[in-house]
Chains A and B, each alone.
Chain A
């Protein structure tokens, strides 16, 4: 399997305080990789550093190319997409406009198939179609997550990075969303999933990485990780024991 995203020695922080002390992680083509770890381990920081939302040092290769010097916008142009923890929706704009903005980068690159892509997203999330004229700020939590996901899909990314898609959502909706991710993988999309809910994440993912205090402490196939006694105890055991 070829590496789509390969991160080595990634260091980043806020002001003087270093939060990431040389992260190593990898996402292969067509797989779902998951990054799990306790609160404050640096998962969100890792995604922000990869996306260049915060300054960072280290080596980031995407599709075999060093993308270290690129800006967030340029990374998006290359097919990297992030659905952040906050969703970052355009709350005072309509659902449909939010989706169309997901198409901005492709539009600038000459694509004009926004209607087809809208139809695809609506097929995945029929709820969004019902609410297309509604302001994004008035959506429910689950609908917001769908919109954030749908908006990212509008750009047809090569790698979709999701920061805690289950945050604050009812188990039923989480199941729906994970089912969607599964279908997207079958469609060939690569996904980097950051999750608190380690059990669900490992169940879905092909391979997993455990982040603790700003460093990756364990990595492997999800089945192997699920069986790892350390992981079992700290992430699976405690929560659901």
Chain B
């Protein structure tokens, strides 16, 4: 292996690692605020990419109708509260109108991309409301099983909504730069840029805004948060929306590199999950670094022995779990 190849592998690994990083963050956010292991996050990756692909093909994306159906269902669930109903229906209605107009006019790609992220992001709190909220006092294991079930439902629905074909979406940039002997693709830079901007924005939000602090507080001490008047439900819905949006963004970042099908998300999400677990399901920085490591290890493993690449990546979990069990920081209910 010469230096050029190592550099190319590193570039490739960091690009996919950056995408895993986004997913690891989303996963941690949802877990810390709601104790749900967000297995379906990978499906949101696929939904985001396929929603954009379908809009670019000039169709009204099927996810939009799914969103509307879910919005009506969750509005019915809280028909007693006017605020609840308007929160369930309002955003869905707005984005439905915006999407219909954008598809009709064939608006700019980036606008359609933003709408695809928006639709997917709004779908996530609906999933929380319909699947997880009724069980918010259940055990971690129950929530995990439900998350699994939601994943299977979403894959099945994905097939119906998008069909079995893989789709590609356009790269954010087709430019290419030469750095020494290595070509760096503009898209890789976009992935890295999005990742850095998003991480910075999240950091700022968590530390400098009331909402961000409230999210951290609900994760830190749920009872304490309630006593501050922080509604657990609202925080959970926001955490889901953020994770859904992050996943959809990850989808838009992957789909130009690798065509995405309705069932592609699970494995991608699993890599983010590995990173989150290495971070002890508690630490954002450790998870972020772990995600980059997973990406790079995957790239070098695929080079070294592609038939066993997946096994090697999953084997990363073993030392991490050993280390965590040595530290014996239990992550059962408080």
Complex: A in contact with B (CB within 8 Å): yes
Listed in ascending order, the chain A residues whose CB lies under 8 Å from chain B are 51, 53, 71-73, 76-77, 81-82, 84, 86, 88-93, 97, 100-105, 107-108, 151, 155
Q: Is the CB of B227 within 8 A of A100?
A: no
The contact string, 1 if C-beta is below 8 Å from chain A, for chain B 190-228, is: 000000000000000000001001101100110111111
Which chain A positions have C-beta within 8 A of B220? 90-93
Report the separation of the CA atoms of residues A102 and B226 in the bound assembly, to the nearest whole angstrom.
11
CB-contact partner of B210 in A86, A90, A91, A100, under 8 A: A100
Report the separation of the CA atoms of residues A216 and B217 in the bound assembly, to the nearest whole angstrom.
35
Q: Is the CB of A90 within 8 A of B226?
A: no
Q: Is the CB of A90 within 8 A of B227?
A: no
Q: Is the CB of A72 within 8 A of B213?
A: no
Q: Is the CB of B227 within 8 A of A104?
A: no
Interface of chain B: mostly helix, strand, loop or mixed: helix
Whether, in the assembled complex, B319 has its beta carbon less than 8 Å from a beta carbon of chain A, the answer is: no
Listed in ascending order, the chain B residues whose CB lies under 8 Å from chain A are 210, 213-214, 216-217, 220-221, 223-231
Q: Is the CB of A84 within 8 A of B229?
A: no
Report the separation of the CA atoms of residues A198 and B214 in the bound assembly, to the nearest whole angstrom.
36
Report the separation of the CA atoms of residues A230 and B224 in the bound assembly, to the nearest whole angstrom.
37
Q: Select from chain A the residue with minimum beta-carbon distance to B223.
A: A88
Q: Is the CB of B226 within 8 A of A53?
A: yes
Report the separation of the CA atoms of residues A23 and B229 in the bound assembly, to the nearest whole angstrom.
25
Q: Is the CB of B228 within 8 A of A102?
A: yes
Q: Is the CB of B227 within 8 A of A51?
A: yes
Which chain B positions have C-beta within 8 A of A81? 227
Q: Is the CB of A101 within 8 A of B213?
A: yes
Report the separation of the CA atoms of residues A16 and B256 in the bound assembly, to the nearest whole angstrom.
58
Q: Is the CB of B223 within 8 A of A104?
A: no
Tell me how far the C-beta of B182 lies from the nearest C-beta in chain A, rounded to whole angstroms. Answer: 41
Report the separation of the CA atoms of residues A11 and B231 in the bound assembly, to the nearest whole angstrom.
25
Beyond the given pairs A101-B217, A104-B210, A104-B217, 10 more chain A to chain B contacts, judged by CB atoms under 8 angstroms and listed by A's residue number, are A76-B227, A81-B227, A91-B220, A93-B213, A100-B210, A101-B214, A101-B230, A103-B210, A108-B229, A155-B229
Q: Is the CB of A104 within 8 A of B230?
A: yes
Which chain B positions have C-beta within 8 A of A101? 213-214, 217, 225, 228, 230
Tell me how far the C-beta of B84 lies from the nearest C-beta in chain A, rounded to whole angstroms. Answer: 13
**6 contacting pairs across A/B (C-beta < 8 A):** A72-B226, A73-B229, A92-B216, A93-B216, A100-B210, A103-B210
